[in-house]
Amino acid sequence: MPATLPIGTVVDSGDIAELNAQRFNRHTFWCGQSGSGKTYALGVVLEQILAHTSLPVVILDPNADFVRLGEVRPEAAGGSTAAALEGRDIRVLRPGDRDDSLRVRFSALPFPIKAALLRLDPLDDRAEYNALLHLQERYPINDERSIVERLQESGDPVHHALAERVENLALDDWGLWAGERAAATEIIDTRPDATVLDLGGFRYAEEPLVVALSVLDDLWTRREQRRPVLIVIDEAHNLCSPDLDSPLGRAVREQIIRIAAEGRKYGLWLLLSTQRPSKVHPGIISQCDNLALMKMSSPIDLHELASIFGFVPESLIEQSPLFTQGMALFAGGFIGAPTIVQMGDRVTFEGGSDVGVPLR
């Protein structure tokens, strides 16, 4: 008997709506326009996965929506789901100088990413590029700032130039470098039940991309271990857009495309949440076997979803503009038949709820 995850009630009948936990071993696409209740509803499902499975979850969270995933609301205390969640190991890593800070180890990044960070071309900047290539051999230390100091102290003019490049790009001022602290990849490798990576709050726009790339690349590098993990990418258009044109942006998108195409057999399963499918690279959406669709009014987006997810009756997709907040159409392997659901209540707090209008 497969494990089932109660998520709400079936709109037509009032019966309990359940998802098949085993079928999260396929990629899932979750979409709904602003105000549809998408983030809250996704939290309901993530709570159930954490409560009823041993599947580790890694959440790339750009808006701090899931940073309170381990905090049970007082009115929900005492229930079976709340009791299960209270025993789960949920790590929340955030920017800043704290014990649970979100960090990346520069030395562990793939060399092409290091070169992209420093904007080095293998031919136009061949001397500095080569110096970077052999940097870890010469200075095998973890403290990124110490590496810069070593370069500055070197009598080699190429090393001086490399140090100047780091300073000019302000990379030594980034707050995400691990130094002697644990990097996010090292924490994830200990297999907590959930690791929430709060990508908001960094000073520099490229820092979240480096975090995402570091984590995704590390999971892909370890893929032969075949240790299952659910990779949740909230506001996926930030990392999966076909319009990303920076070297780091393209690198993140290509890694997600690779995981979407080949990761399933290794236990790397994606759950992508976004407001509009047109903002996500089609090569990623086409690899998804599960669909969760909330209120969406754009005919173009609905037509695209109907063409990609041909197993969903178009008549159901066409109902999406009429959905009220918290309603969702589920279809694919994780539910017996396409079903419209009114989502249930969250057990934990929502981290990024809307700001209300101040009243006099």
In a domain, 357, yes or no: no
Integer Cα distance of 233 and 274 in angstroms: 9
Residues 155 and 116 in one domain: yes
Phi-psi region of 119 (alpha: psi -120 to 50; beta: other; left: phi over 0): left
In a shared domain, residues 194 and 163: no
348 inside domain: no
Q: For 51-108, what is each residue's pLDDT tens digit?
A: 999 999 999 999 999 999 999 999 988 888 999 998 899 999 999 888 789 999 988 8
- pLDDT at res. 179: 85
Rounded Cα distance between 275 and 299, Å, is: 14
Whether 87 and 215 share a structural domain: yes
Residues 200 and 306 in one domain: yes
Q: What is the pLDDT of residue 143?
A: 62
One domain for residues 215 and 329: yes
64 with 30, same domain?
A: yes
d(CA 187, CA 91) in angstroms, rounded, equals 9
Instruction: Give the pLDDT of residue 183.
Output: 95
pLDDT for res 293: 98
- E-only strand ranges, the chain: 4-10, 16-20, 28-31, 57-61, 90-93, 194-198, 229-233, 268-274, 290-293, 327-332, 339-343
Looking at residue 44, what is its pLDDT? 97
Residue of 40 and 3 predicted with greater confidence:
40
Provide the pLDDT for residue 354: 65
Q: Which CATH number characterizes residue 231's domain?
A: 3.40.50.300
What are the φ/ψ torsions at residue 327 (nearest 5 degrees)?
-90, 145
> In this predicted structure, what is the pLDDT of residue 78?
83
Angle value at C-alpha 76, between 73 and 78, nearest 5 degrees? 120
**pLDDT bracket for residue 2 (50, 70, 90):** low
126, 216: one domain: no
Q: CA separation (Å) from 286 to 38, 48, 252, 293?
A: 21, 26, 18, 15
Are residues 231 and 306 both part of a single domain?
Answer: yes
Q: Across residues 127-141, what is the average pLDDT? A: 84
Q: What pLDDT, on the 0 to 100 scale, is given for residue 225?
A: 96
Q: Which residue among 173, 191, 223 closes a domain?
A: 173
Q: Give burial (CB, 10 Å; 0-12/13-18/19+) of 121.
A: exposed
Domain, as residue range, for 114: 109-173
Note whether 75 and 30 are same-domain residues. yes
pLDDT tens figures, 235-278: 999 999 999 888 899 999 999 999 999 999 999 999 999 999 99
Q: Is residue 154 part of a domain?
A: yes
- Residue 149 pLDDT greater than 90, yes or no: no
Label residue 147 exposed, middle or buried (CB < 10 Å: 0-12, 13-18, 19+): buried
The number of folded domains in the chain is 2
pLDDT above 80: residue 141: no
Do both 136 and 269 map to the same domain?
no
Give yes or no: residues 91 and 119 share one domain. Answer: no
Is 350 within a domain? no
Indicate if the pLDDT at residue 39 is higher than 90: yes
Average pLDDT value for the chain: 92
pLDDT tens per residue across span 289-316 = 999 999 999 999 999 999 999 999 999 9
Question: Is there a single domain that holds both residue 142 and residue 73?
Answer: no
Confidence of residue 144 (pLDDT cuts 50, 70, 90): low
pLDDT tens, position by position, 324-352: 999 999 999 999 999 999 999 999 998 86
